[in-house]
Structure 1
Amino acid sequence: MMLVESTDYLNDELKKIETWENEQKDLWFWEKIGRLPFILLDKLTPKFIQDKIGLAIDELGNYIQTGGQYLVKEENILKKFVPQDTSADEIHLDFLEQVPISKMDEIAEEIRNSRTKIATVQGATTGIGGLFTLAVDIPVLLGLSLKVLQEIAVCYGYDPKEKSERIFIVKCLQFSSSDIVGKKAILEDLTSFNLGNQNNQMISQLQGWREVVTTYRDSFGWKKLFQMIPIAGMIFGAFINRSSIGDVAEAGKMLYRKRRILERLNQMEQIQG
């Protein structure tokens, strides 16, 4: 294997990611306040709207098992790494083994910016109707989150078609919406991926995957309280969805970046040993 970066460079970048991990905090007060809007939502909304929230839970389960409707085509991301006159059919994920991490970062950031713009428009649209379109907004935002995480996975050379990667993606989603205690536990869980033990242990930990949606929903509930106001909710919806997708994309980028750096450091050790 050709060495793409130096060991010193990779170790320096790894330290930056670890600093980011240590900075991930949450406020207990907002954690508690965040559940209030959804207590109201459960009491005030018709059953068919509540069913839409339940649908998000079921869809997440389908995504883990098969990818469902959210599975993206890796070719659309891979073609960003090659000249325009090169067909996407001519490249595969293995091609990224020789791509510098700085280039992966560049494409991942491009995707993050693009998806946050889409989320902004979507949030403004669903914010117009207040309380009722808020219920619709939750499963749509979940879909956008899963999509951007898959695209970032491909940027760093990982295949979302593999079940183990879809589990990692759901863990990234859970990380972005967890409190400080939850983030610490998830980082410990993800260590098994970095060590190459990504099967039985991680799968068993996701048996309660319905809790992931509940955590994801409640994490920005207090913010969504303002989106319940018709018309004015358009402004709040645009801002909140933009920041939510931005946070999800950042978590995915940093956690996948860490995996790729650790793998390259391991490969260098094997070559030099």
Structure 2
Amino acid sequence: MNAYEDSIRFRLAEWERRLLKPPGLLERTSKTVQTKINEKIPAKVHAALTSAVKGIFHTVLFTLDYVPKGLPQAGLTLQERDEKAAALVNTYKKIAAAEGAGTGAGGFALGLVDFPALIAIKMKCLFELAHLYGYSTRDYRERLFLLYVFQLAFSGRDHKTGVYRTIQSWDATAELYPPGELALQTIEWEKLQQEYRDAIDFRKMLQLVPGIGAIVGAWANYGLLEELGEAAINSFRLRLLGAPGGA
């Protein structure tokens, strides 16, 4: 174990504490406000987002469309992987911000278009990160893992705890999955969609407000990619180093 890996273990332990701590007053209040806002959003907006989420995830799991060209990275130290991953996430944050600014400036109709586009950007980022950390997404179990990482980044705290525990023991958990597409039956699709929708709705719905859409769109997309990048990088670190406090 080298000094860099020791420092990452410490940071993983801090990250775990942040993930698992009970929600504070501000978070509980924000959730209540967000729920009320969601109730006022037209059903067609919710339906569009739900359809986009399900469609993208279906493509992710049933096809190899998002699998990067070439073999997963091998022979790199964790520090080298982390440096490459940070650069990759920064690139995707800029792509997402530009996409959000463009659709945000276009008002309501283009704002709706941004939902599936942003999900696609997020999934492309996750697939490339998996290969950077040495995992082949040609294996359907690795594609399932990315769905759990996605949920870890964009779920409420109650759901996030269970997802984290699954990621923490992924290599053992993956062996229990049935072969091929039967494993897809284990995914709670409606739960996944609802958690994602609730996690991003407030920021993304502000993007639809005339006059501020472009600014909010860029800000929201940049922040969402930043959250995804942190969740993904730390999840892959967990797999390579083991859980905080582990062997």
- TM-score, L = length of structure 2: 0.83
The higher radius of gyration belongs to 1
Q: Which stretches in structure 1 are left out of the alignment for 5+ residues?
A: 1-5, 76-91
Distance in 2 of aligned mates of 1:36 and 1:72: 39
Q: Which residue of 2 aligns with 1:32?
A: 32
Moved more, 171-180 or 206-215: 206-215
Q: Which residue of 2 aligns with 1:249?
A: 229
Q: Which stretches in structure 2 are left out of the alignment for 5+ residues?
A: none
Question: Does the C-alpha gap of structure 1 residues 243 and 124 become closer, same or farther in structure 2, counting only changes over 3 Å?
Answer: same
Distance in 1 of aligned mates of 2:120 and 2:202: 21
Question: Does the C-alpha gap of structure 1 residues 229 and 168 become closer, same or farther in structure 2, counting only changes over 3 Å?
Answer: same
Pick from 112, 115, 126 the counterpart of residue 149 of structure 1. 126
Alignment coverage as a number of residue pairs: 236
Moved more, 221-230 or 160-169: 221-230
Q: Which residue of 2 aligns with 1:13?
A: 8
Question: Does the C-alpha gap of structure 1 residues 118 and 35 become closer, same or farther in structure 2, counting only changes over 3 Å?
Answer: farther
Identity %: 23
Distance in 2 of aligned mates of 1:260 and 1:186: 18
The 5 A counterparts of 1:130-141 are 130-141=107-118
Q: Which residue of 2 aligns with 1:80?
A: none
Shift of 1:166: 0.7
Question: Does the C-alpha gap of structure 1 residues 205 and 182 become closer, same or farther in structure 2, counting only changes over 3 Å?
Answer: farther
User: Residue type matched to 1:144 in 2?
Assistant: I
- TM-score, L = length of structure 1: 0.76
Does the CA-based 8 Å contact 1:175-1:251 persist in structure 2? yes
Q: Give the SS at the match of 1:197.
A: helix
Q: Which residue of 1 aligns with 2:152?
A: 175
Does the CA-based 8 Å contact 1:61-1:209 persist in structure 2? no
Does the CA-based 8 Å contact 2:101-2:217 persist in structure 1? yes
Shift of 1:169: 0.4
Shift of 1:186: 0.8
Q: Which residue of 2 aligns with 1:125?
A: 102
Distance in 1 of aligned mates of 2:28 and 2:125: 28
Q: Which residue of 2 aligns with 1:107?
A: 84
Question: Does the C-alpha gap of structure 1 residues 73 and 103 become closer, same or farther in structure 2, counting only changes over 3 Å?
Answer: same
The 5 A counterparts of 1:218-229 are 218-229=198-209
Question: Does the C-alpha gap of structure 1 residues 11 and 63 become closer, same or farther in structure 2, counting only changes over 3 Å?
Answer: same
Distance in 2 of aligned mates of 1:143 and 1:54: 13
Does the CA-based 8 Å contact 1:172-1:255 persist in structure 2? yes
Distance in 1 of aligned mates of 2:38 and 2:151: 18
Does the CA-based 8 Å contact 1:226-1:233 persist in structure 2? yes
Distance in 2 of aligned mates of 1:223 and 1:204: 30
